[in-house]
């Protein structure tokens, strides 16, 4: 049995031509749709690049403003409150009321020196403040005591811890 030769048949030739023309049309359709999608992607990417560039500029502006504001605030920090505490009063058997009165007397002494002062200015003059406190003798229960600064913490709240020693 012999297979018929289809290449001579007009119907087969029309089918092959139809397949080839369909392949060409589908390829052209594919190229058109792919090109449109790529063009859309390129415009989206360009818009996003512009948006990223604008956001980075805006971010840099905000960061610069934030840094300037931080520097300005750092310069403007002032002392809001301060505490004075005598730590070794129990060693000399001093009653708590006398300790409180002594702490308040020291607070009154240095109140105008510390409160509402710029932290930078106070930091530069901290040695002078410590000497002011240490050169002061305080009288508690008919005894004179000298003060020694054991801890000096400087921030918006200044914390001063003092130790007592008997004066000569």
User: From CA 95, how far away is CA 99, in angstroms rounded?
Assistant: 6
**Segment 42-97, tens digit of pLDDT:** 999 999 999 999 999 999 999 999 999 988 877 678 888 889 999 998 998 899 99
Q: Which of 23-32, 124-133, 143-152, 154-163 has the highest mean pLDDT?
A: 23-32
Tokens of 8: 């001579």
Q: Are 119 and 158 in contact (CB under 8 A)?
A: no
164 strand-pairing partners: 147
Q: What residue has token string 């001579």? A: 8
Say what the pLDDT of residue 115 is: 81
Ranges of H-type helices in the chain: 10-76, 96-114, 119-124, 126-134
Question: Does 4 have pLDDT greater than 70?
Answer: no
Tell me the pTM: 0.58
Tokens of 7: 């290449």
User: From CA 89, how far away is CA 103, in angstroms rounded?
Assistant: 11
Predicted confidence band of residue 121 (pLDDT cuts 50, 70, 90) = confident
C-alpha dihedral sign at 97, 164, 146, 122: negative
Say what the pLDDT of residue 6 is: 63
Q: Is 26 left (phi over 0), alpha (psi -120 to 50) or beta?
A: alpha
Say what the pLDDT of residue 79 is: 85
159 strand-pairing partners: 83, 153
Q: What residue has token string 């400087």? A: 154
């Amino acid at each position: 049995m012999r297979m018929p030769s289809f290449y001579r048949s007009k119907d087969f030739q029309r089918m092959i031509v139809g397949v080839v023309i369909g392949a060409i049309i589908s390829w052209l359709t594919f190229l058109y749709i792919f090109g449109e999608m790529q063009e859309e992607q390129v415009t989206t990417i360009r818009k996003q690049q512009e948006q990223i560039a604008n956001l980075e500029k805006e971010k840099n502006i905000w960061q610069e403003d934030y840094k300037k504001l931080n520097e300005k605030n750092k310069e403007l920090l002032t002392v809001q409150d301060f505490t004075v505490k005598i730590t070794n009063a129990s060693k000399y058997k001093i009653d708590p009321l006398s300790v409180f009165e002594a702490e308040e007397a020291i607070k009154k002494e240095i109140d105008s020196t510390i409160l509402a002062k710029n932290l930078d200015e106070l930091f530069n003059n901290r040695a002078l403040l410590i000497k002011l406190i240490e050169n002061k003798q305080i009288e508690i229960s008919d005894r004179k005591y000298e003060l020694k600064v054991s801890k000096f913490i400087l921030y918006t709240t200044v914390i001063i811890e003092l130790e007592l020693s008997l004066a000569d």
